[in-house]
Structure 1
Amino acid sequence: MNRLTANPVIRISASSTKMAGRYASSDLINLMTKTLLPNTHAIEYAQRMNKVLDYIDQHLDTPLDLPTLAEVAHFSAFHFHRVFLAWVGETLSDYLWRRRLEIAAVHLAANAQASILEIALTVGFGSSEAFARAFKRRFGCTPSAWRTGTPQRWAEELAHTRLHHTQRNLDQRHGNPDQADAVGLLEDTGLNNLEFKMDMQVKKLPAVRVAYMRYTGPYGAGVHRFWIDTFLPWCRANGLEGAGCYGIGLDDPGVTAPAKCRYDACVEVPADFVAKSPAGIADLPGGLYAVGDFVGTVPDIHLAWTELLRNWLPSSGMQADARPCFEYYPPKAKYTQSTGVLECQIGLPVRSL
């Protein structure tokens, strides 16, 4: 239960238009596989580096030095800095700085009861002053201003999403193939009133063992293609067709650059299941979750998350907890290909205020 416990509500818009897995970048992995290394070697490198990035997210409140992380990856400390830079595209120090501040930004938005000092310590800063200086350099405002502006950012995001939906429906109605999305939002789905249809219930869920693959890049069509072209074929080849699946966005594209956003495509497996490359095994943590049924198109999951965080959470007596959000696709979940409408459950980790 120790891999996917990094960011609190980072998955919010991370889950926007989903379905995908992690590796240095799916494009980079493909390039490495075809040109530099045999497939199994490239996969081994990717899995080791993924393990390091997960370790970082789980230990942001501790000192993270190069020898420790090299040991996690089972790489030479002497060469690890260059290996990390080559695979991640950032120096280790730059990556750590970015992750600490991005996680802090999400905590500030989601956990109104936590003090700025608490959040600073949670992500590894020694004082609120040092944290405030670094935060302003990264986001252009103080932590307090970021927190105060959260409702407006979410409201603007909702307005933008609904405007996009309206334009998309007009494009479809007037037959504009260049502007209309391949998967449309039909007027009779009632998704403009989605906030009134999400019946959220707080439940205690058990931990779940999954096999997973990771995608890195902009959420949306890339995530969907990852499921269709990569993860679901792997599931079928390994006898897992029909099992429940989870989608877990590891970053918030409102905070993290789209090219650096990560997403895990997961499938439920037995405790003794041995995953074949390129997949790995992980435990999704159990505990209290706010769970609601979603019916709509893939892009509208983003709207559901925003409504959940903007409207339901503040009035629920709960706050977001530092476990991953998820989208769960039950074995018998329906999907209508002609409209793009699907069924899933969304789950937000919570604890009492």
Structure 2
Amino acid sequence: MSATLHNYQARMRRVLDHIDRHLDRSLSLDELSGVAAFSKFHFHRQFTATFGLSVHRYIQLARLKRAAFELAFRDDQRVTDIAMDAGYDAPEAFARAFRHRVGQTPSSFRKAPDGEPWLAAFGPLDNARSKLMQTSYSPNDVTIREVAPTAVAIMEHRGDPATIGATIRRFIAWRKAVGLSPRNSPTFNVFHSDPRTTPAAEYRLDLCVGTDRPVDAHGERIETGIIPGGRCAVLRVTGRTDDLEPAALYLYRDWLPASGEQARDFPLYCERIAFFPDVPEHEAIADLYLPLR
């Protein structure tokens, strides 16, 4: 029974991966049932029973989520092109669907996304994914590396975690202005605070880009610093890298006490390796670093 269930879940994961890779084209029930190797006569009900969403609803939400990230963080893409990529023949139809789901027009969302409705809008999609995508970790997933020090330029976010999106947009715009592309300059986040225990007004996160050259602040408040070298426990997260909390909990609650290691006096941090929506969501990658003594 366990092997059969594992096989069933693997086939359903194949479908989600296929949808992620092909959001910009038509996806038929015949095609998706073939990916899953299920009968097309029953696939729709199987999908709905597994994920709590119809295939059509799941695809629509996945397209709108990608569109929301492109609107918020990819200002070089036109709204019309984003609408077409989301499967809408006319920008007006996309605007109606987006406003119904997110509560803002695409243009107003691009200027100033409202964080809480944005997160709530795609809750059903994230809940559906979590039914099969919930990741459990084991000691074999953690490696201990000797890490070299990294010089970084830092934009600090301080305040409500729900407003991080605005800081990220400023960070992306600043990087573009000074020519520090993620393709040639690594991206780090340093987590100074735990959002579960820190008052919202005191929450702190550093957005960092690896560079050892002098940088132009370009009107922003940019500081320079060093992510120190040394031994680190490293856990790779693939997929939903917008939520690193399960991986962080595993490192602190499970791995660290059992390992006999001791944490060093520097915060948990991550390196962003591959970004959604530049890659399909299930291919996003982040390495989480726990500094050790």
Please give the TM-score of this superposition, normalised by the length of structure 1: 0.45
Aligned length: 178
How far apart, in 2, do the equivalents of 1:316 and 1:322 lie? 17
Unpaired stretches in structure 1, ≥5 consecutive residues: 1-168
**Shift, 1:298, TM fit:** 3.7
Q: Distance in 2 between matches of 1:345 and 1:240?
A: 20
Measure how far apart 1:188 and its partner are: 7.9
Tell me how far apart the structure 1 counterparts of residues 187 and 142 of structure 2 sit (CA, whole Å): 20
Whose RCO is larger (CA < 8 A, sep 6+)?
Answer: 1
Letter in 1 for 2:149: A
Determine if the alignment matches structure 1 residue 284 to structure 2 residue 188.
no
Who is 2:286 aligned against? Answer: 344
SS at match of 2:196: coil
The aligned amino acid for 1:302 is E
Choose from 253, 276, 279 the match for 1:310.
253
Give 1:233's aligned residue: 173
| Distance apart, 1:328 and its partner CA | 0.2
Give me the identity figure in percent: 24
Aligned to 2:164: 223
SS in 2 for 1:209: strand
Aligned residue identity for 2:164: V
- Aligned residue for 1:266, secondary structure, equals strand
Deviation at 1:346, TM superposition (A): 0.3
Mapped partners of 2:128, 2:210: distance in 1:
32
Deviation by residue 1:49-95 (Cα, 9 ceiling, x = unmatched): xxxxxxxxxxxxxxxxxxxxxxxxxxxxxxxxxxxxxxxxxxxxxxx
Task: List structure 1 segments (4+ residues) > 3 angstroms apart after TM superposition.
Answer: 169-180, 185-191, 336-341
Q: Which residue of 1 aligns with 2:207?
A: 265
CA-to-aligned-CA distance 1:106-156 (integer Å, 9 cap, x gap): xxxxxxxxxxxxxxxxxxxxxxxxxxxxxxxxxxxxxxxxxxxxxxxxxxx
Q: What amino acid does structure 2 have at the position aligned with 1:239?
A: G
Cα distance between partner residues in 2 of 1:185 and 1:280: 38
Cross-structure match for 1:209:
151
CA pair 294-197 structure 1, distance change in 2 beyond 3 A: farther
Letter in 2 for 1:234: W
In the alignment, the residues of structure 1 paired with residue 131 and residue 279 of structure 2 have an alpha-carbon distance, to the nearest angstrom, of 13
CA deviation after TM superposition for structure 1 residue 299, in Å: 4.2
Q: How do residues 72-111 of structure 1 correspond to structure 2 at under 5 angstroms?
A: none
Judge conservation of contact 2:194–2:203 (CA < 8 Å) in 1: yes
- Cα RMSD of the aligned pairs, angstroms, is 3.0
Residues 237 and 286 in structure 2, CA contact (< 8 A), matched pair in contact too: yes
* Alignment partner of 1:324 is 2:267: yes
How many Å separate the matches in 2 of 1:233 and 1:312?
37
Residue 246 and residue 308 in structure 1: after superposition, are their counterparts in 2 closer, same or farther (change >3 A)?
A: same
Give the TM-score taking structure 2 as reference length: 0.53
CA 1:246–1:198 in structure 2 vs 1: closer, same or farther (change >3 Å)? farther
Unaligned runs of 5+ in 2: 1-50, 62-100, 102-116
Aligned-pair distance for 1:216?
A: 1.2
- Structure 2: how far apart are the matches of 1:210 and 1:235? 12
| Preserved contact between residue 241 and residue 286 of structure 2 (Cα < 8 Å) | no
